[in-house]
Amino acid sequence: MTSSPSVTAGLLVIGDEILSGRTKDVNIGATADFCTDLGIDLKEVRVVSDETDDIVAAVNALRERYTYVFTTGGIGPTHDDITADAIAKAFGVALPINAQARALLEARWKETGTEVNEARLRMARIPEGADLIVNSVSAAPGFRIGNVHVMAGVPVIMRAMLEALVPTLKGGKKVLSITVKAAVGEGTVGGPLGELQNQYPDVKMGSYPQMGKGRLMTELVLRSSDAARLEEAVEKVRAMVAAAHEKAGIAPPED
């Protein structure tokens, strides 16, 4: 029986304000959670400045490598919101005012008494051939072209756009995760853990040092989409940790 191919994604975070530290990014974590829930393996995150050529290069690299590409930032009304321009350039298409996007925006502006001007209409520019991504928060849409999904950088809007994408995305097999706590340092369990990783190449094993109650501890995190293999590997890791505790003459940590 052959396993289904994995569904992968790359995330491109766009904006000088992220790289300067003026804005603290939270969209990476939100996208990672979103992908995990759908069984999509987020493989790479890049952060680029508001430079057209840099955005084009990053988008073209990511869209060739992964099933999906998500971008955040740079689709607002100001002169430095150049993501739509860069995406259009990456795909070699025009960037006209989209009639549907304009209608959505003008309907919202009429409700709020907002003036229609050239700057605001920048948000209605959509690359030819793209589909709109609904924005239930402020009406200004994102868009999808090929396997690239272009979303706002404002966190609440970005999360709303992600939710709007759910019916259009295919997910993979959800990855399960189990954590085993060890009351010893990484150096103590590193060797045996590496041997177990070789025995279970289909179960990802990571070790993360922690401080607990004044002593060094290690959290061992095991991840796999195969529940049976995960449980089997976890039992081996638990036995390895128990042996390490016994050899060191210390009690296991409390869960």
67-114 pLDDT tens trace: 999 999 999 999 999 999 999 999 999 999 999 999 999 999 999 999
**Residues with Cβ within 8 Å of residue 22, at least 6 apart in sequence:** none
Question: For position 2, what pLDDT does the model report?
Answer: 42
Long-range contacts formed by 235-240: CB under 8 A, 24+ apart: 236/196, 236/199, 236/200, 237/180, 237/193, 237/196, 237/205, 238/180, 240/189, 240/192, 240/193, 240/196
Candidate from 90-99, 180-189, 194-203, 213-222 with smallest mean pLDDT: 213-222
Q: What percent of the chain clears pLDDT 70, i.e. is strictly above it?
A: 95
CA distance 6 to 38: 12
CA 113-116-119 angle, 5° bins: 130
pLDDT-based confidence at 213, cuts 50/70/90? low
Is 1.10.640.10 the CATH classification of the domain at 8-168? no
Distance from C-alpha of 77 to C-alpha of 181, rounded to nearest angstrom: 49
Rounded-to-integer distance, Cα 39 and Cα 176, Å: 10
What pLDDT shows up at residue 173?
76
User: By percentage, how much of the chain surpasses pLDDT 90?
Assistant: 76
| pLDDT band per the 50, 70, 90 thresholds, residue 132 | very high
d(C-alpha 199, C-alpha 151), whole Å: 41
Q: Is the pLDDT of residue 179 over 90?
A: yes
pLDDT in tens, 2-51: 445 689 999 999 999 999 999 999 999 999 999 988 999 999 999 999 99
**Domain coordinates of the chain in residue numbers?**
8-168, 176-248
Question: Which CATH superfamily hosts domain 176-248?
Answer: Ribosomal protein S10 (3.30.70.600)
At residue 78, the pLDDT reads: 92
Q: What is the mean pLDDT of residues 143-148?
A: 98
Phi, psi for residue 8 in degrees, rounded to 5: -120, 165
Other Cβ atoms less than 10 A from the Cβ of 150: the count is 28
Residues whose CB is less than 8 angstroms from the CB of residue 103 and which lie 6 or more positions away in sequence, other chains included: none
Main-chain phi, psi angles of 202, to 5 degrees: -85, 0
Give the residue, 139 or 174, on which the prediction is more confident.
Answer: 139
More confident residue, 146 or 254: 146
Mean pLDDT for the chain overall: 92
User: Average pLDDT for residues 182-201, to the nearest whole number?
Assistant: 92
- Mean pLDDT for 232-242 is 95
- One fold for 8-168 and 176-248: no
User: Residue 208 pLDDT more than 50?
Assistant: yes
- Give the model's pLDDT for residue 4: 56
pLDDT of residue 168: 92
In this structure, of 119-128, 156-165, 196-205, 240-249, the range with the lowest mean pLDDT score is 240-249
Distance from C-alpha of 36 to C-alpha of 8, rounded to nearest angstrom: 10
